[in-house]
Amino acid sequence: MPTIDEELERRSLLYSLLMPVMSQFVPGLEKGKGMYFLFIKSECKTPGGLVARPVLTSYYKSSHFKERPYDPYTNYTSPNETILCSDSYQGMYSQMLCGLCQNNEVLRVGAVFASGFIRAIRFLEKHWSLLCNDIRTGTLNSQITDPSVREAVMKILKADPELANFIEQECSRQSWQGIITRLWPNTKYVDVIVTGTMSQYIPTLDYYSNGLPLVCTMYASSECYFGVNLNPLCKPSEVSYTLIPTMAYFEFLPVHKNNDTTNSVPISKSLSEKEQQELVDLADVKLGQDYELVVTTYAGLYRYRVGDVLRVAGFKNSAPQFNFICRKNVVLSIDSDKTDEVELQNAVKNAVSHLIPFDAHLIEYTSYADTTTIPGHYVLYWELSVNGSTPVPPSVLEDCCLTIEESLNSVYRQGRVSDKSIGALEIKIVEAGTFDKLMDYAISLGASINQYKTPRCVKFAPIVELLNFRVVSCYFSPKCPKWTPGHKQWINID
Ligand code: AMP
């Protein structure tokens, strides 16, 4: 995604709008701190010598973030050094430690996406005993080797046996319900994005936070930042974003509801002549209508389809406000990964070649983003027909899992390898006839027999249950797929 220096200023402007909005609804936030789990990712160089890195890494490494003047609204428990640490374990450990040490000062907690925040809770579940030890003694354990992180943490860490005992007592209770409000008792809300695919994490967040408000403050992308939520305490299902018109030139392509293209063929990022004629300006969108967002950015994208579908939910004065409806084509997502139907299809196609020697064939498949495990993982339900006399050995099905992972995009593989934000992919073999049962079920709900197509991803709980009930065996990817930063074709270029 091309970007330019001045874009950082524009993005900082959008960030600067968030707390003034928030403090209209939650007073007193300037009296304490935010505990946010923020991370950088690795970067690489393009063949032309430009830096390529995720947008948030650019922002955290910029002077806009690092040298921000003191402001009670951007006062975080995590020192910059812990956010800028390139080792994700050390970054997470040190941010959690600093958050625990300042537990009574914390008024809000969060991460960018819901998945990241849940990962932090999971980290605490695994490592609380080590963390308590450091708090009890006021020393930082030797696993934290980054000198700048050590120095920054030691400015905050003081021996506090009473706090260590308190944390130990809370974490060793059988139930972790309400752990956020127990350990950080002054927390007023959880600041994470739970709109779009992240809504799958709402029940888990409600459990850990005892139903604190889940606040989605902004809507943004690598291409450009879009807008803010002017009513941040509303329910997640009612969140709407007001686009900030100076972020880019926004146009809208009407989505015709009767030709459901949301999950069909891949869309090109550019518009046809006819589509260009259909575009509507920000000032002309109609209440209740769905649109695909099209941006022309300062960095050079021209009439570029972001891939998101938005619905006009209302107006603030004359400014339209949009519900995030979905991302076109995305079927699976756990963290920042977005896998579309075509990618999934190709990955499955590559994997089934392992079945040929056993005269086994894939009859049907579907997929599910299983977020009941932490981290979540992709599950594929496979119905096989085995004609050969030898059954398919488990190791071959494990190879199928790995081949699918190897075939998925770099963001997915980075999540598996570097961020550990995605768990090993699983194939669940279902008994013969399962997909017929799935069709019967869809038809019983009113689907047309003529037009029925096996969904390539399932979300509806009764369908997931129907599939799980017929699982005969499960296989996991035995190791992580390969991943290096940047595009494959850049690897050998210095
Ligand atoms: P990326 O460019 O990888 O950062 O992804 C940007 C995409 O993430 C957007 O185009 C949306 O599909 C999704 N996204 C970002 N912010 C939100 C939000 N607040 N609610 C729902 N989806 C979001």
The least confident of 131-145, 252-266, 394-408, 442-456 is: 252-266
Average pLDDT value for residue range 311-332: 92
Closest CA to 259 of 290, 288, 299: 290
Long-range contacts of 465-471 (CB under 8 A, 24+ apart): 466/434, 466/437, 466/438, 466/441, 467/366, 467/368, 467/381, 467/428, 467/430, 467/434, 467/438, 468/428, 470/430, 470/431, 470/434, 470/437, 471/381, 471/428, 471/429, 471/430, 471/431
pLDDT tens across 1-19, in order? 899 999 999 999 999 999 9
Query: Is the CB of residue 40 below 6 angstroms from any atom belonging to ligand 1?
Result: no
Average pLDDT value for residue range 420-425: 95
Closest CA to 421 of 114, 193, 181: 114
Average pLDDT value for residue range 466-486: 94
Q: What is the number of H-type helices and E-type strands within the chain?
A: 16, 20
Q: Relative to the CA of 241, which ligand 1 atom is closest?
A: 19
Output the pLDDT for position 200. Answer: 82
Query: Is the CB of residue 248 below 6 angstroms from any atom belonging to ligand 1?
Result: no
Number of Cα atoms under 13 Å in the Cβ half of residue 70: 0
Closest CA to 104 of 182, 175, 210: 182
Residue-wise over 369-403: b if at least 16 C-beta within 10 A, else e?
A: bbbeebbbbbbbbbbbeeeeeeebeeeebbbbbbb
| pLDDT higher than threshold 90 for residue 30 | yes
Average pLDDT value for residue range 64-84: 92
The least confident of 408-412, 445-449, 477-481 is: 445-449
Query: Is the CB of residue 196 below 6 angstroms from any atom belonging to ligand 1?
Result: yes
Q: Relative to the CA of 222, which ligand 1 atom is closest?
A: 2
Long-range contacts of 43-52 (CB under 8 A, 24+ apart): 43/485, 44/484, 44/485, 44/486, 44/490, 45/486, 45/490, 45/493, 45/494, 46/486, 46/490, 47/490, 47/493, 52/486, 52/490
Output the pLDDT for position 257. Answer: 64
CA of 226 to the centre of ligand 1 (A): 10
pLDDT averaged over every residue in the chain: 92
CA of 60 to the centre of ligand 1 (A): 18
Q: Relative to the CA of 196, which ligand 1 atom is closest?
A: 21
Output the pLDDT for position 69. Answer: 87
CB atoms inside a 10 Å sphere around CB 471: 14
The residue type of 363 is I
| pLDDT higher than threshold 80 for residue 107 | yes
Output the pLDDT for position 409. Answer: 92
| pLDDT higher than threshold 60 for residue 184 | yes
| pLDDT higher than threshold 70 for residue 488 | no
DSSP code per residue over 32-64:
SEEEEE------EE-TTS-EE--HHHHHHHSHH
Measured between alpha carbons, how far is 275 from 305 in angstroms, rounded to an integer? Answer: 11
CA of 398 to the centre of ligand 1 (A): 32
Terminal-to-terminal C-alpha distance of the chain: 20
- Evaluated on CA atoms 119, 120, 125, 130, the torsion sign reads positive
Nearest CA owner, ligand 1 atom 5: 221
Output the pLDDT for position 312. Answer: 97
DSSP code per residue over 398-432:
HHHHHHHHHHS-HHHHHHHHTS--SPPPEEEEE-T
Query: Is the CB of residue 193 below 6 angstroms from any atom belonging to ligand 1?
Result: yes
Closest CA to 94 of 43, 46, 146, 16: 146
CA of 329 to the centre of ligand 1 (A): 14
Output the pLDDT for position 490. Answer: 67
Average pLDDT value for residue range 462-485: 95
Query: Is the CB of residue 219 below 6 angstroms from any atom belonging to ligand 1?
Result: yes
Q: To which H or E segment does residue 133 belong?
A: helix 114-137
Output the pLDDT for position 388. Answer: 77
Is the pLDDT higher at 404 or at 271?
404
CA of 254 to the centre of ligand 1 (A): 20
Output the pLDDT for position 32. Answer: 96
Output the pLDDT for position 489. Answer: 66
CA of 204 to the centre of ligand 1 (A): 20
Q: To which H or E segment does residue 473 belong?
A: strand 471-476
Query: Is the CB of residue 216 below 6 angstroms from any atom belonging to ligand 1?
Result: yes
Query: Is the CB of residue 306 below 6 angstroms from any atom belonging to ligand 1?
Result: yes
| pLDDT higher than threshold 90 for residue 351 | yes
Q: Is 254 helix (H, G, I), strand (E, B) or coil?
A: strand
Q: Please report where in the chains the tokens 């779009």 appear, as a residue.
A: 196
What are the residues whose beta carbons fall under 8 Å from the beta carbon of 124, sequence distance 6 or more?
Answer: 96, 131, 171, 179
Output the pLDDT for position 165. Answer: 98
Q: To which H or E segment does residue 305 belong?
A: strand 304-316
Long-range contacts of 136-143 (CB under 8 A, 24+ apart): 136/160, 136/161, 136/164, 136/165, 140/97, 143/89, 143/90, 143/93
pTM above 0.75, yes or no: yes
Ligand 1 pocket: which of 327, 330, 331 to mutate (most atoms within 8 A of CB): 327
Query: Is the CB of residue 327 below 6 angstroms from any atom belonging to ligand 1?
Result: yes
Output the pLDDT for position 380. Answer: 97
| pLDDT higher than threshold 60 for residue 262 | no
Query: Is the CB of residue 295 below 6 angstroms from any atom belonging to ligand 1?
Result: no
CA of 207 to the centre of ligand 1 (A): 24
Query: Is the CB of residue 324 below 6 angstroms from any atom belonging to ligand 1?
Result: yes
Q: Which two tokens stand for residue 209?
A: 């936070």
Average pLDDT value for residue range 362-385: 93
Output the pLDDT for position 404. Answer: 97
Output the pLDDT for position 115. Answer: 85
Omega before 375 within 30 of 0, i.e. cis = yes
Measured between alpha carbons, how far is 188 from 140 in angstroms, rounded to an integer? Answer: 29
Closest CA to 93 of 113, 74, 75, 120: 120
Q: Please report where in the chains the tokens 């291409």 appear, as a residue.
A: 223
The least confident of 40-44, 54-58, 91-95 is: 40-44
Please list the residues that pair with 189 across neighbouring strands: 108
CA of 215 to the centre of ligand 1 (A): 15
CA of 306 to the centre of ligand 1 (A): 9
Angle, alpha carbons 248-249-252 (nearest 5°) = 120
Percent of the chain with pLDDT over 90: 76
CA of 149 to the centre of ligand 1 (A): 30
Average pLDDT value for residue range 37-66: 91
Q: Relative to the CA of 330, which ligand 1 atom is closest?
A: 12
Query: Is the CB of residue 221 below 6 angstroms from any atom belonging to ligand 1?
Result: yes
